[in-house]
Amino acid sequence: MKIGIYGQFYHKNSGIYIQQLLDILDNNDVEVVIEKNFLELIHLHDEIDKSYSHFSTFEELDTSYDLFFSIGGDGTILRTITYVRDLGIPIAGINTGRLGFLATIQKEEIQDSIDLILKKKYVISPRSLVTVETVTPTDEFGVLNFAMNEIAVSRRNTTSMVTVHTSLNDEFLTSYWADGLIVATPTGSTGYSLSCGGPVVMPDAESMLLTPIAPHNLNARPLVIPDDTEIKLQVTGREDSYLVSLDSRIHTLPNEATVIIKKAPFKINMVVLEGNSFLKTLRKKMLWGEDKRN
């Protein structure tokens, strides 16, 4: 078995859990390859006798990997997908962060969780992505033109709102006068979109969400659309440019640049352990069913 490991940060008190993970994998003769910068952080904070292979780029990975561990929070998983991309390698998130809708393996449960994974007691939850491109082809976004949570357009260096002219399959929808507009996947429905009043959507729903950010036209409401819809956005405002964010990666585009957003041609495979589910995670993270008056 061959497993890749990626992490962004070395969280305080997380060393014991990282060491526990590596020990379990070593004891089960698992081939472990660690992202180079994360491996350097581990060596900086811990004394690890064994030397590990490492990778630095997507080009160094291939389909020989059985699994990828992402150590951190949901943001770390969003970084992990920039390495995995369309290789189809399943990703398991070990949560050393806070909320964790994607990183559902708790650090205190590493032993039991890894046992389940090694025994293949898990299912794969395919997650849809969205891509962005400009009407006039440029290399603005490069190969990392995709996002698993959301693509958002927003105002730049101004307190003034922007106007987001929006069309669906070349039919005009509306012009949002707001701080911006979020185009979210079902996975991203529990992220930025949720904080802006968007609905929660099941991960396997074939849909996308349009969620305005602090709209001035108060009748503007989040909209759920089929995921085969092509979305065209034209942004105008007092500034001569605006921001486009793909999960946590930010680009600046001039106002004359019209962007097209649509479903990506590949999916990301998330690991869901036996006994877990999206609904269970939702109840736990959102505190549904817990009434403090009782």
To 10 degrees, what angle do helices 15-27 and 110-118 make?
A: 30
| One domain, residues 191 and 235 | yes
| One domain, residues 202 and 242 | yes
To 10 degrees, what angle do helices 15-27 and 36-45 make?
A: 110
**Residue 229 structural domain:** 129-265
Rg (CA), the chain: 20
Per 3-state DSSP, the chain is made up of helix, strand and coil in percentages (nearest 5) of 25, 40, 40
In a domain, 254, yes or no: yes
pTM of structure: 0.92
Tell whether residue 188 is among the known ligand binding residues. no
| One domain, residues 100 and 208 | no
Are 90 and 70 within 8 A, CB to CB?
no
| One domain, residues 91 and 29 | yes
Say how far apart CA 104 and CA 99 lie, in whole Å.
9
Number of domains in the chain: 2
The terminus-to-terminus CA distance of the chain in angstroms comes to: 49
Of 16-20, 265-269, 290-294, the range with the lowest mean pLDDT is: 290-294
| One domain, residues 210 and 245 | yes
Rounded to an integer, the average pLDDT of 109-128 is 94
CATH number (domain holding residue 153): 2.60.200.30
Tell whether residue 218 is among the known ligand binding residues. no
Torsion angle of the four alpha carbons 95, 96, 101, 106, in this order, in degrees rounded to the nearest 10: 40
In a domain, 294, yes or no: no
pLDDT (0 to 100) of residue 235: 95
Check pLDDT > 70 for residue 150.
yes
Q: Could you say which of 23, 46, 66, 74 is catalytic?
A: 74
Tell whether residue 255 is among the known ligand binding residues. no
Structure tokens at 148: 């698993």
Tell whether residue 193 is among the known ligand binding residues. yes
Rounded to an integer, the average pLDDT of 94-108 is 82
Residue 29 bears catalytic tag: no
Mean confidence (pLDDT) of the chain: 91
CATH number (domain holding residue 47): 3.40.50.10330
Structure tokens at 73: 């929070």
DSSP 8-state symbol, 1: -
pLDDT (0 to 100) of residue 175: 96
pLDDT band at 285 (very low <50, low <70, confident <90, very high): confident
